[in-house]
Amino acid sequence: LIIESRAVTQFDLRGIWAGPYWPDLPEAGLYRPVVSTTYASNWAFAPGRPAPFIATNVLLHAATTLMAFWLLLKLFPGRSGLAAAAAGIFAVHPIHVEAVVGIVGRAEILAALFTIAAYGLWLDAEKSNSPLRRILPAPVWLLGLLSKESAIVLPVVLIAHRLGLAGASATGKRLRLTDISWAVALGIGILLRVAAIGPPRSPDATFVDN
């Protein structure tokens, strides 16, 4: 994904954004240009050296932990101790080891970072009359979607939140600008994906186990 990717080692952004995540396995059906762009940035500053790549993962995980703390404060206002404890568990939980220590686990970290950020921004957007703040969560989520496909789960979480099934009480159930922006972001993500790797198809389970 890094050493054998000509687009990554030559910082070819056009090649990264117009090609599959696995350069020699387009049949895997993965498109993660945001992650590959960060690989290219690391390579440009430290060609062939793994330590800066892993250090970047650690910093991104720290940022994700802070983002989780920020989101928890919004979900549980006035309970900063609970938010800090939960974020602390998130920071050191063994389940994150593979994502942080393994360089290509960065896809997991970036997807989480942007998804959690989009969730928090959405909570702010629900209370805002600013058009900019209302549409901001969707492009942030799109960055998560272009980092790893699992970010697709966020709209389902937000629907559950709006219906009062998750998080704080919903502020309303009517369609609004924020809702439309999610569909636009998803459409952009699908168009980019189709342009780069073709129409959606079932991945080859031999190469893709997640």
The reported pTM is: 0.88
Mean predicted confidence (pLDDT) in 194-200: 84
DSSP string, the chain: --TT-HHHHTT-HHHHHTS-SSTT-GGG----HHHHHHHHHHHHHSTT-HHHHHHHHHHHHHHHHHHHHHHHHHHSTT-HHHHHHHHHHHHH-GGGHHHHHSGGGHHHHHHHHHHHHHHHHHHHHTT---HHHHHTHHHHHHHHHTT-GGGGGHHHHHHHHHTTSSSSPPS--S--HHHHHHHHHHHHHHHHHHHHH-S-----TTT---
pLDDT given for residue 175 in this prediction: 47
Per-residue pLDDT tens over the stretch 46-89: 998 999 999 999 999 999 999 999 999 998 888 999 999 999 99
